[in-house]
Structure 1
Amino acid sequence: MRVELLPDQGFTLIEMIAVLVLLGILSVSAAVYYGSLLDTSKSRGASSLVSAAQSQLSLEFARRATAGLTLDTDSQPVCDWVVISSPSVVASIVCVGNLTDDVAITGTIDSKSFSGSWNSPLAGGS
């Protein structure tokens, strides 16, 4: 009579624990990287808001100058024309100054801010 032993099947407890530890380390590093990507995208989005406001101010200056309208107008209503529509993102643009002077612009997306300026051709800007 011949007795055959079956080979061991399955994983040992130490192998299972090692795999779980490795998965935990990978998930933590992925979460940190994802958070960094979110911060970068919010900062770049705020920068895009400032660029959009600069373009809008230039367009409004040109429209008013060619139509013979007064240029001494507050910049905030012009910046408000930049449309920010997202139910899950808190975004804002703040413009300080008028079209005859330089305008300070701050764009904010979910507490990440970016500042810039618009230089009026009348104030010697370009």
Structure 2
Amino acid sequence: MRELTTTLWVKQNQHDGDRWRLFTAVGDAIGAERVLYPGSFVDVAASFVFPSVTYVEADRRASRFFGDVDGVNEIIAAHRPHPWTPTVAFLHADYTGPLGMPDEGFDLLISLYAGFVSEHCTRYLRLGGTL
């Protein structure tokens, strides 16, 4: 794992397991398969719980973090209680603009600390999906 990947993850996960517990509770409640996480920075904890997560972040450090595919997979594997291998996609983009993805392709839209994600990304949430 690259040093930058480790450094960014340690800082992101400074409250060890908090996001994992949150995403586990959400997953238990709604059972989402495909997840969109705009403004994720390097928070890969959603991949500990959900089988397919697309992360969207404009910060170039996140692009470098997700560019370390082996390192990201190592972090996820160390925390994943499920036997399946998750699908992880990363878009280095500003979520307020077009993302080049089809509308209504996701079951869950995660919005934590990235502003008004719903204003720009609800179109990607399937009918009956969860924000």
Q: Which structure would you say has the larger Rg?
A: 1
Q: Which has the higher contact order (CA 8 A, sep 6+)?
A: 2
Same topology, TM > 0.5: no
TM-score (norm 1): 0.29
Greater fraction of residues in helix? 1
TM-score (norm 2): 0.29
Greater fraction of residues in strand? 2
